[in-house]
Chains A and B, each alone.
Chain A
Amino acid sequence: MPTTEQYASMVKNASGNSPSWKNIPFAFLIGGLICTIGEALLHLYQYAGLTADWAGAMVSVTLIATSALLTGLGVYDKIAKHGGAGTLVPITGFANAVVSPALEFRSEGLVLGTGAKMFLIAGPVIVYGVAASYIYGIILCLLGQAGM
């Protein structure tokens, strides 16, 4: 038998790499497309008479709702197969990460299934996002006290 190191090198040679030449441009295009749609919506809402703040919030709401709908219709994961990081990083990816377990675990009931498992994937993002905002808040507060 080869040693663990020898075998790791055999595995590396035998395993094909992810096709980055295809994945990276697709991530750029699809991620860029989602952001372009967001930008277009922002202009549309402002044109319709909303203030910049309200228009921004409505863009998020629209993208989240669309992503949730596409997840429920079984389309989002098919786009993500090609989009990769392009569908993961925008707010639509976060919505997909919340809706997909909510749908998946509804067979275990609304409380112990959907309710308990909804944040299975997105939970860590929320936990560490909130924790990081506390830390930044404290830093900002201390800098303020120091008169900076």
Chain B
Amino acid sequence: MVKLLGRSTWLFEQPPVILSSAAVGGKMEKDGPLGEWFDYTEEDGLFGESSWEKGENRMQQLALKAALQKAGLRKSDLNLLFAGDLLNQCTGSSYALREFMVPYLGLYGACSTMAESLLMAAVYTGAGLAKAAGAVTSSHFCTAERQYRFPLEYGCQRPPTAQWTATSAGAVIVGEHSMGGEHRIEIVHACAGIIQDPGIKDANNMGAAMAPAAACLFRRYFRESATAPADYDRIFTGDLGAVGSDLLYQLLGRDHIEISDRHNDCGLLLYDRQRQDVHAGGSGCGCSAGVLNGYILPQMRAGKLKNVLFAATGALLSPTMVQQGETIPGIAHLVHLRAMEGGGADVY
């Protein structure tokens, strides 16, 4: 049912389907170009809770509840949840999802978690190991800043290469092939990436740390799946931002792979860089999660996009290792999504 192509590309012969999806965002995301596409946005960064971490938990809960409701499923209908976030011990996910009482497998893929969790949900449902599985992730500007950088009120200047961690959560419910209706979004291929460490030590230049992982992933994926960029309407990367996207084109250009005419980066879509002070763009698990669930999937349902590659990228940064003089490894994972003829699906 799932066929291995090359080293780590999977072809789903009976493609699992995306039953529903939901995106939750904060104030910056609401004010951004995709603001109206979010299922739920909140001006209060605490989301009514007493700490930023609890606020992030709340975002994941809201996203998963909304996705379940749209799919018409109960918590007990889910066989598995794959989730992760940026925080130590993945507390953004484990504390949020404990109340759902669904078998849970925690993931850490930094900002690539949306693609990683979707890949896992697709493999499990595609291989007949689960009927329905959820993929959930989140990031919160305030929880990430205090863990990775400085306190919020500390006065400092951010360099032009710095990116803005998105306050956003996304949840996708993936079901086995038979659960899809006439109009559906299928997950056709998935590809797990290889860690690439290009020797970047600057924690304020994540795009540069991640671009080689994305380039390596695309190169392998196109070869292993025997497809080319022209086979896809749009190719999305997670959060390379302006610097990382530029580097990705250069790296792929060395192998004569041209994607710039159909490529968009979620980090460049989530915010308006002219109007919002995000420097090189958005980042964080919630960046690609918000854009996938708040923009890409709705566009596919509306029949505007048919074949899409969604490749979320992650900088596997540890402040401890950076302080010890280590470099920042990057990772990227990919899923190939296909909207079946007709578009304009009734549920979602």
Which residues does A use to contact B, with CB under 8 Å?
A: 1-2, 4, 7-8, 10-11, 14-19, 23, 71-72, 74, 76-77, 79-81, 83-84, 87-88, 93, 96-97, 99-101, 103-105, 107, 120-121
Distance from B92 Cβ to chain A, minimum over Cβ atoms (Å): 15
Which residues does B use to contact A, with CB under 8 Å?
A: 50-53, 146, 150-161, 196, 198-200, 205, 208, 212, 215-216, 243, 246-247, 250-251, 254
From A10, A71, A77, A93, B250 is in contact (CB under 8 Å) with A10
CA distance A4 to B159 in the complex (A): 22
Q: Which residues of B contact A72 (CB under 8 A)?
A: 153
CA distance A75 to B199 in the complex (A): 37
Give the one of B152, B155, B161 with max A CB within 10 A: B155
A71 touches B153 (CB 8 A): yes
Distance from B242 Cβ to chain A, minimum over Cβ atoms (Å): 8
Q: Which residues of B contact A18 (CB under 8 A)?
A: 157, 159-160
Closest 8 CB pairs of A and B: A80-B155, A104-B151, A100-B153, A100-B151, A100-B154, A16-B160, A4-B199, A107-B51
B208 touches A14 (CB 8 A): yes
CA distance A120 to B150 in the complex (A): 9
Distance from A16 Cβ to chain B, minimum over Cβ atoms (Å): 4
CA distance A81 to B162 in the complex (A): 13
CA distance A93 to B247 in the complex (A): 36
Q: Which residues of A contact B208 (CB under 8 A)?
A: 11, 14-15
B216 touches A1 (CB 8 A): yes
Distance from B133 Cβ to chain A, minimum over Cβ atoms (Å): 33
A97 touches B243 (CB 8 A): no
Inter-chain CB contacts under 8 Å: number? 93
Distance from A118 Cβ to chain B, minimum over Cβ atoms (Å): 10
Q: Which residues of B contact A97 (CB under 8 A)?
A: 154
Q: Which residues of B contact A101 (CB under 8 A)?
A: 151, 154
A11 touches B247 (CB 8 A): yes
CA distance A93 to B205 in the complex (A): 25
A14 touches B154 (CB 8 A): no
Distance from B253 Cβ to chain A, minimum over Cβ atoms (Å): 11
Enumerate 27 A-B pairs (CB-CB under 8 Å) in ascending A order. A1-B196, A1-B212, A2-B254, A4-B199, A7-B199, A7-B212, A10-B247, A10-B250, A11-B247, A14-B246, A14-B247, A15-B243, A23-B157, A79-B155, A80-B156, A81-B158, A87-B155, A99-B153, A100-B152, A100-B153, A100-B155, A103-B153, A104-B146, A104-B151, A104-B153, A121-B151, A121-B154
B157 touches A81 (CB 8 A): yes
CA distance A76 to B224 in the complex (A): 53
B153 touches A88 (CB 8 A): no
From A8, A77, A120, B153 is in contact (CB under 8 Å) with A77
CA distance A8 to B200 in the complex (A): 8
Q: Which residues of A contact B196 (CB under 8 A)?
A: 1
CA distance A27 to B192 in the complex (A): 47
Kindly report which residue of chain A lies nearest to residue B197, judged by CB atoms.
A4
Distance from B38 Cβ to chain A, minimum over Cβ atoms (Å): 25
CA distance A139 to B231 in the complex (A): 74
Distance from B294 Cβ to chain A, minimum over Cβ atoms (Å): 28
Q: Which residues of B contact A105 (CB under 8 A)?
A: 146, 151
CA distance A10 to B161 in the complex (A): 14
From A15, A74, A81, A99, B160 is in contact (CB under 8 Å) with A15
Q: Which residues of A contact B156 (CB under 8 A)?
A: 77, 80, 88
CA distance A60 to B207 in the complex (A): 42
Q: Which residues of B contact A19 (CB under 8 A)?
A: 160
CA distance A10 to B160 in the complex (A): 16
Kindly report which residue of chain B lies nearest to residue A103, judged by CB atoms.
B153
Kindly report which residue of chain A lies nearest to residue B200, judged by CB atoms.
A11
Distance from A54 Cβ to chain B, minimum over Cβ atoms (Å): 29
CA distance A103 to B158 in the complex (A): 21
CA distance A130 to B145 in the complex (A): 30
A74 touches B153 (CB 8 A): yes
